[in-house]
Structure formats: C-alpha cells, structure tokens
Amino acid sequence: MAHSSDLSRPQAQSVRDVLKQQDWGTLLASLACILALVGVAAAIDSPAERPFVLYDAAISYPHSGPSTFHYNVAWLVPLACLLVTLCIFQPWLSPGLLSALSGALHYFLDAVMTLGTTVVVTHVTKLWVGYLRPDFLARCGPVAPADGLAHLAWGLDASRDVPACQHPGVSAKDLSDGRMSFPSGHSSAVWSICLYAALYVVWAADQGGRGSLEASEKSVSPMPRSEGAQPSSSSRFARESPTRSRWRLSPLLRDVLVRAGAHIWALLLLLFAGAVSASRIVDFRHHASDVCGGAFLGSVLAGLFFWRAALRYHAVPGIRGQRFSRESSGFASLREGQQELGEAELSSELRGL
C-alpha cells in the first residue's frame, strides 16, 4: 500500500525520533495562550450579575435532575473516538509503526490543545456575558415583592432590604452556575473534538486512497515488449489467477469503500455531537442560542487547529535537524526498490520470449 501523505515526512527510527518530530513550538505556544486565558478567568473570578425579570418565562423552567450526558462524557468519548481513528488510519498513511506513532501523536496532542483552548475560551465567555440559565428562577427562589408588578426587574443590589434569591437549598456555587449559560460548555467541547476527528478521518481517507490508486496505476502499467512477442507464462498466470482475482479488491473499489466508511464514521461523530448539544436544551440547562454558540465556537477552533496541524505536519524539522526531501534516503530507497522490481519483471518477460 502506498503512503502518499508521508513522502515529505522522515521515517521515525526510534522513540526518540518520534518525540523529535513533534511540533513542540506550536504546542508550547498553544499552551501559553491557554494559561493566559486561565489567568483572565481567575481575574474575572465570578460571572457578571445582570438584572432579571420575575415573570420571565425563558428562565422559569424547573431545575431537573442529573444531566443526560455528564460533562466528562462530552469530551472523553470524542477524544477516545479520535484516538481509535488515529490508530486505524495513521498506520495506513505512514510507512512503519514508529512513523505511524509519530503522526498519531502529532494530531492527538494538537486535538488536546484544541480541547483545552475551547474549554478556557468558553469559561471566560461565560463569566463575561453572565447569561441566565433556563432554570435560574428555580435555583434562585425569589420572593415576589409586596407591590407586585411595580418592581418587575429584580437585581442583586446591596441596597435592597430583601435579597432577590432566597431559595433555602441553593448554594452560592449553584447560583453562580445559574448565571453561566452562554455559551454551552458541553456543546463547545463535544463539537471541538468530534469535528476535529471528522476532518481528520475524511482527510486521511482522501490522502490514503489517492496514494493507493497512484501505486496501483504504476504497478499495472504495461511493460515494454518487442513487436509480436507473446507474454510469458508467469505473467499470464498472474493476470488469470482465479484466487488473486477472487480475493483482491480493485484499487478503485477499495478506495470507494474506505472513503464511504470514513464519511459514515464522520457522520456518526457529528450526530453524537448534535445529540449532546440537544440534550442541554432538553435538560433545561441551556437555551438554543447557548447551544448554537457553543457549537459554533467549538467548530471554528476545531477547523483552525486541524488546518494548522495538517500544514505543520510536513513542516517540522526532520531527524537530526535535516529537513526531508524527495531525494532523502527513505524515498530514494523506495524508488530504487520499485525500479529494481520493474527491471526484474522486464528481464523475466525477455527470458520468456
């Protein structure tokens, strides 16, 4: 099988080479951005407090029990699916176990940075916006003012004699969480990894299928033969072998099956992301705008990070500080082996004349 996507990346010969081939500069830059955002979140400390209306139906939903999908499920399951996807497709793209490990580690570390960036950006946005959750009034338990409709707008001013929220069982943490609705953390986290994995699997199927077809076209190209010459018995047997024709798929059919499987897997990942997002509305934890905002944030970051990772995959320094070229040892030996194989087949054809 051809490995077209890794022709411009050196083959890893040891675990040390695997580590040297990682894009540590980009990873450290991403980590620095994450830490800076964590500092911003620590400086903000608590969500913005906005006034609310006692009779606002949008925040009057009941406070339901446990969520349909726990937050850890929203990021652990997609991350595990990405890891399985890398274990399946990266060996198909890379010529060797260590090279496949190098490529898989490159994309997995980048996906972790994608998730980390998404989480902290989501948290900072929640604190800054201070949007109320659909079940905020159930958490708050406000008492209606004596003059009824005269004071519809309720804030949390210190000058009020009666605090707005008087629910006996509410904790300060739950009340603070009730003001952190936009954007949805579940939605942003699940979309960041699911879309990243979907982009990878579609890209990998395209790269691997293209290389497989190119290799097949070279392998079945007609050998030069003198005029009037008959093919040798060995070449006729290779073409007419019933076992070979029965069990070996044509490159085109194999490419179609791989691409179809990749797109189905990508669709399943996106459906899972959609299910997690929709559950936040069903559980009365988020408004539709929160879910859409989280999905948009996670999708944008996933697209940007994967685009950067795919470009940087072939741009990192090669082994021992040398950049890899098509004339380096790995590709040159592969090309020499193909030439020797072609010469051997030509010699067998000439001997059969």
DSSP 317: -
For residues 296 and 317, give the distance between their C-alpha atoms in angstroms, rounded to a whole number. 34
Residue 99 — left, alpha, or beta (φ > 0 → left; ψ -120 to 50 → alpha)? alpha
Amino acid letter, residue 348: S
The pLDDT, as a whole number, for residue 151 is: 52
- pLDDT of 81-98, one tens digit each? 999 999 999 988 887 888
For residues 197 and 186, give the distance between their C-alpha atoms in angstroms, rounded to a whole number. 17
Check: CB of residue 13 under 8 Å from CB of residue 100. Answer: no
Check: CB of residue 298 under 8 Å from CB of residue 118. Answer: yes
For residues 294 and 297, give the distance between their C-alpha atoms in angstroms, rounded to a whole number. 5
For residues 73 and 68, give the distance between their C-alpha atoms in angstroms, rounded to a whole number. 10
Peptide bond into 183 cis (omega under 30): yes
The pLDDT, as a whole number, for residue 206 is: 85
The pLDDT, as a whole number, for residue 238 is: 44
Find where tokens 């400086």 sit.
Answer: 43
For residues 179 and 290, give the distance between their C-alpha atoms in angstroms, rounded to a whole number. 12
Q: Where are the beta strands (DSSP E) in the chain?
A: 52-53, 153-154
Q: Which residues of the chain have pLDDT under 70?
A: 1-10, 144-164, 208-249, 316-353
For residues 243 and 174, give the distance between their C-alpha atoms in angstroms, rounded to a whole number. 67
DSSP 142: B
Q: Is-above-0.85 flag for pTM?
A: no
Compute the C-alpha angle 213/217/220, nearest 5°: 135
Check: CB of residue 5 under 8 Å from CB of residue 106. Answer: no
- pLDDT of 229-268, one tens digit each? 555 444 443 444 444 445 566 777 878 888 999 999 999 9
The pLDDT, as a whole number, for residue 290 is: 97
Compute the C-alpha angle 247/250/253, nearest 5°: 110
The pLDDT, as a whole number, for residue 207 is: 81
The pLDDT, as a whole number, for residue 351 is: 60
Find where tokens 């006729």 sit.
Answer: 236
Q: In the chain, what are the helix, strand and coil shares in percent, each to the nearest 5? A: 65, 0, 30
Q: Nearest CA to 316 among 1, 3, 6, 2?
A: 6
Q: Are strands 153-154 and 52-53 parallel, antiparallel or unpaired?
A: antiparallel
For residues 64 and 76, give the distance between their C-alpha atoms in angstroms, rounded to a whole number. 24
The pLDDT, as a whole number, for residue 165 is: 78
Q: Nearest CA to 280 among 61, 115, 55?
A: 61
Hey, how many other C-beta atoms are within 10 angstroms of the C-beta on 310? Answer: 17
Q: Per-residue DSSP letters for 267-283?
A: HHHHHHHHHHHHHHHHT
For residues 277 and 317, give the distance between their C-alpha atoms in angstroms, rounded to a whole number. 40
